Copies of this chain bind each other. A is one copy, B any other.
Amino acid sequence: MRLLVEQGLPGLLVVGPAGQPFAMLPASDVVRTLVPGYIQEDPVLAAVIDEPHADRLCRALAGRTLADRLPTARPFLPAAAPDRTAMELAELMARTRSPLIAIVERDAGGPGRLLGVVTAAHLLERLLQA
């Protein structure tokens, strides 16, 4: 979360032990990890959590890892090979409504090595230079 705040990132790309891309978490999904399950189920309860209590909830996160908080279902991972065009990346970003696209080496044997990340701001910057 500090990485996201300090660098003003639109989301995080989570990688596995061998550096392979695993999941993309938009910033709003990172915020979700701070919202207790009972509030996600019944949003009106958010109003009864006062600020000191919310602070305690956040302190309880110290030492917790992303792996503790990732969804257990199939992770969301918008990815493209490095030979894709700017228009292909724009189409994928628009369709998945993702603020990040992972650029991943082509590898027939599973998820390839992560080469980089393209944000919406990167892509717009490139397209505006045209």
Could you say how many copies of this chain the assembly holds?
A: 2
Cβ contact within 8 Å between B39 and A99: no
In-complex Cβ contact of A28 among B87, B98, B130 (8 A): B98
Is A120 an interface residue, CB under 8 A from the partner?
yes
Q: Give A residues with C-beta under 8 Å from B.
A: 1-2, 4-5, 8-10, 26-32, 34-35, 39-40, 43, 46-47, 49-51, 54-59, 84-88, 90-99, 119-121, 123-125, 127-128, 130
| A-side interface mostly | helix
Contact, CB under 8 Å: A58 / B120:
no
Contact B49 A85 (CB under 8 A): yes
Contact (A4, B85) CB under 8 Å given A40-B95, A91-B43:
no
Are A39 and B124 closer than 8 Å at their CB atoms? Answer: no
Within the complex, what minimum Cβ distance (angstroms) separates A93 from chain B? 5
Q: Are A127 and B58 in contact (CB under 8 A)?
A: yes
Q: How far is the CB of A124 from chain B (nearest CB, A)?
A: 5
